[in-house]
């Protein structure tokens, strides 16, 4: 749950200005993720989020520069930790994750800019990746094997 929650936090702060922990808690709640202020505070510390002065003159949470440079690697780690199994069915690549982590897995894959990927769809513990054709799905299967 922690890696999925932290992945969502990164997405939230990249999509909109978040000035307070309460705003971040509300944004997580909108996405169906329940958290406490204490847990969120630990996440902020673990992820090394910092407040930066925005162009509108207010402060907002951002990933520290070192974390931003390593964003793709962090998403790959989240992906590795959340996957239970994966398989190919024609041009579909299906991923089974730990409960609640399919969105994080899709986010990681979207950030990887996979060749032949048309789109992703995530449920609670299952993700469907629509590939351009069966060959692209098989290629992705072999690339995923290399991650593990």
pLDDT digits (tens, 9 = 90+) for 100-147: 889 888 887 887 778 899 999 999 999 999 999 999 999 989 888 877
Domain with CATH 3.30.1360.40 in the chain: 80-147
Out of 1.10.10.10, 3.40.50.300, 1.10.3720.10, 3.90.1170.40, the CATH code matching 2-69 is 1.10.10.10
For domain 80-147, the CATH class is: alpha beta
84 has pLDDT over 80: yes
Give the residue from 79, 78, 96, 97 showing the smallest Cα distance to 87. 96
| Cα gap 103→111, rounded to integer Å | 12
Check if the beta carbon of residue 66 is closer than 8 Å to that of residue 73: no
Instruction: Give residue 67's pLDDT band: very low, low, confident or very high (50, 70, 90).
Output: very low
Q: What is the largest CA-CA distance in the chain?
A: 51
Give the residue from 64, 42, 50, 66 showing the smallest Cα distance to 18. 50
pLDDT at site 111: 75
CA 87 to chain centre: 20
For 100, the enclosing helix (H) or strand (E) is: none
Q: Is 90 left (phi over 0), alpha (psi -120 to 50) or beta?
A: left
Rounded to two decimals, the pTM is: 0.51
Domain with CATH 1.10.10.10 in the chain: 2-69
H helix intervals, the chain: 2-15, 21-30, 37-46, 65-69, 71-82, 102-112, 134-147
| Cα gap 13→8, rounded to integer Å | 9
């Amino acid at each position: 749950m922690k890696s999925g929650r932290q992945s969502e936090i990164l997405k939230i702060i990249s999509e909109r200005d978040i000035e307070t922990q309460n705003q971040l808690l509300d944004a997580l709640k909108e996405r169906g993720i329940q958290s406490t202020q204490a847990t969120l505070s630990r996440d902020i510390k673990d992820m090394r989020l910092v407040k930066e002065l925005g162009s509108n003159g207010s402060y907002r949470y951002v990933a520290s520069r070192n974390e931003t440079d390593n964003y793709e690697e962090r998403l790959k780690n989240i992906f590795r930790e959340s996957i239970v199994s994966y398989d190919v069915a024609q041009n579909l690549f299906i991923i089974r994750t730990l409960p609640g982590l399919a969105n994080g897995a899709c986010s990681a894959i979207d950030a990887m800019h996979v060749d032949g990927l048309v789109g992703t769809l995530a449920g609670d513990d299952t993700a469907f990746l629509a590939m351009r054709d069966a060959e692209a799905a098989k290629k992705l299967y072999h690339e995923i094997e290399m991650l593990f």
